[in-house]
Amino acid sequence: MKKLLLLAFMVLFSCQESKKETKSSHSNLELQSDSLQNVPQEPYYVDIKRNDLKLEKPVYGEWRFFNKEKGQSFNQFIKTKHVVPTKEENIIYLKPIGKFNALQLKQIELVRQYLQIFFQLETAILPGVSNDIIPNNARRKGSMEQEQFLAGYILREVLKKEKPKKGVALMAVTEKDLYPKPEWSYVFGLASYKDKIAVSSMYRMQKEADFNLCLERLLKICSHEIGHMFGLHHCVEAHCVMNGTNSMSETDNHSIRLCSLCQRKLNSGFKYDNLKRLKELEKYFKENNLTEGLQLMERDLKSIQ
């Protein structure tokens, strides 16, 4: 069985990047590695680095308290095999599974719009399927009598069969709670980075959350997870959306912004226009009343002017 990477630490949320190099990289990566390792940083990354906030010493319960990660330098990222978009594979897909209300459908569309801006790649929503696609042997009742789906079944039996045209990443979104195996209470999601597929649940993100808080959580979790698919490890350099997390409250405290180092890594293979991306993110946060994200983008824009 191919390695499945849990988006949870015990019963709390986390995302773990693969410690093994995947074989899904494109053949030109080695050529990129030699040419990019010693390239000086562009002024853009130097300018926005002043807005990176240093991480505080972790406290008990937080991800970094239990996980002593060494981080990932730019050169290490370049040397590591990872997915790079090509003309043949350059679309991020979302696949709804379940029965969503109007507000949930709106959030899924807003996530699609955000991911398209965040990664500067075309993003599309595949036709949704009903919960009937999940058989009884992949369902159970949770501790609060809520229905739960076996996350691994969705990966193996639903997503792996999907072959969307020009797909570079595929993430399912469900409104049902998820569990990874019988002895676990729940997970927020599950992913196979080697197969470039993942599933995330909206169920717990909505608890005690208004529309905007739930949306912000979805934006953080989905961009973080797909960031892993493109080779980004957990960030230990600054407050960043790629920081590891152990709980929803820790996720809420994390930044929605990619730090300067993680932006440089991502852009090395994507080659998008940094200024265009910043302006589009600023507009998105403003239109959707996401104050923190808006302030962060305004600060970065001011730094490069």
CA–CA gap between residue 166 and residue 170 (Å, rounded): 11
The active-site residue out of 225, 250, 280, 282 is 225
CA–CA gap between residue 22 and residue 172 (Å, rounded): 21
* Residue 88 annotated as catalytic: no
Residue of 300, 88, 96, 117 lying closest to 223 (CA atoms):
117
Residue appearing with tokens 């993680």: 262
Helices (H), the chain: 29-36, 43-49, 63-66, 74-79, 102-119, 151-153, 211-229, 248-253, 260-270, 274-287, 291-304
| Angle between helices 291-304 and 274-287 in degrees, nearest 10 | 150
CA–CA gap between residue 89 and residue 168 (Å, rounded): 5
Active site residues: 225
